[in-house]
Amino acid sequence: MKIDGKPYRSIWLNENGWSVHIFDQRELPWQLKIVELTSAQHAAIAIKDMWTRGAPLLAMTGAYGLALALREDPSDENLKAAYDMLVATRPTAVNLKWALDEMMKVIEPLTPIDRAAAAYEKAGKLCDEDVETNRAIGEAGLGIIRELHRKNPGKTVNILTHCNAGWLATVDYGTATSPIYRAHDEGIPVHVWVDETRPRNQGALLTGYELQQHGVPHTLIVDNAGGLLMQRAQVDMVITGVDRVTRNGDACNKVGTYLKALAAHDNDVPFFVAMPFTTYDPVMEAGSDVPIEERDATEVTHIDGLGPDGKLTRVQLTKSPGGNLAFDITPAKYVTGYVTEHGVLSQPGLVARAG
């Protein structure tokens, strides 16, 4: 990804070889603030308070969090305490636990003195793999966009997305946005309907920022507008990211995704879920079993924006109490296909591939 023409990843190791850089995504798009994580506790706060977010990226932050913990104290006790702390930060996306477990497989058998170096090496490898995976997702999804364009060569392909499943949610490329960037770079005329994604507005703030940086035409819409656009045949496909796909193909993603899938179904609009296999939960049978994160109600009752003084300001929207379920479940029957690093798969295809 490039920000103002300069290439970045969303997480990277500092030149000192041990501390870790991320963007404070709470400040985007207003300012590009780079934060240095120096301890496992620091990484846990960054995940929980959403300085960093998106299923694949919070997994990588967790992996580096474990490395930071071992640098301080590589004992069995500290390893377990850091794992427990990090895995509890955000419950819904399965990627975080997956990454921590991958780290543990490498680290646990080692003698304490060898653990930190191995942890840094493994976390770096997981990041590189995430980049390659997302590139492959882009390739698979590009085929879908090419086909839509082939059917209507003179027309722009209109794509609706929810939340942010872009490079800011991964190490690079993004999942749902990866095919969009590929199509745009290939010269296919694409336009993205960006759901604002209340309450935290990841669409308005982050997806909009990414698309702007990449020069992809897009329009911000309120979360409830997608249905009308679909009825008016102004959406050719929907593609979203996902935080956990269960064995039966149910897709748990940012709250509001389900309603887009229902509208897409009612209007014969294909609905795709972009997912790396790190988001597949081979153990959980159905979406109803996924732990749904409930976040602070103030995210609903208040809103952040740029004040007239140019400073990030919080205002209160209401005097009513809020409720804040952060994710919902889209049943598999509404998913046209899962866009993975191994191609566009059906639900049986997912199960077969996962083994």
Chain contacts with ligand MRU (rule: CB under 6 A): 53-56, 93, 163, 165, 169-170, 175, 202, 240-243, 253-254, 326
Residue 6: HSE in the Cβ half-sphere, 13 Å Cα cutoff: 4
Q: What are phi and psi of 17, to 5 degrees?
A: 85, 0
Rounded CA separation 24/50 (Å): 8
Q: How far is the CB of 286 from ligand MRU (least distance, A)?
A: 19
Residue 286 is encoded by which pair of tokens?
Answer: 């159905």
Report the chain's C-alpha Rg in angstroms: 20
Q: Single out the catalytic residue among 130, 236, 243, 250.
A: 243
Residue 211 is encoded by which pair of tokens?
Answer: 């698309």
- Cβ neighbors of 243 (< 8 A, separation 6 or more) are 55, 92, 93, 94, 95, 252, 253, 254, 279, 327
Q: Which residue has the tokens 């990211």?
A: 241
Q: How many CB atoms lie within 10 A of CB 328?
A: 18
Q: How far is the CB of 16 from ligand MRU (least distance, A)?
A: 28
Q: How many CB atoms lie within 10 A of CB 27?
A: 16
Residue 355 is encoded by which pair of tokens?
Answer: 């083994």
Q: How far is the CB of 98 from ligand MRU (least distance, A)?
A: 13
Q: How far is the CB of 141 from ligand MRU (least distance, A)?
A: 13
Task: Provide the sign of the torsion angle of the four alpha carbons 164, 95, 245, 294, taken in this order.
Answer: negative
Q: How many CB atoms lie within 10 A of CB 221?
A: 17
Question: By Cβ distance, which residue is nearest to ligand MRU?
Answer: 241
243 is catalytic: yes
Q: How far is the CB of 200 from ligand MRU (least distance, A)?
A: 6
Secondary structure (3-state) at 12: strand
Residues with a catalytic annotation lie at 243
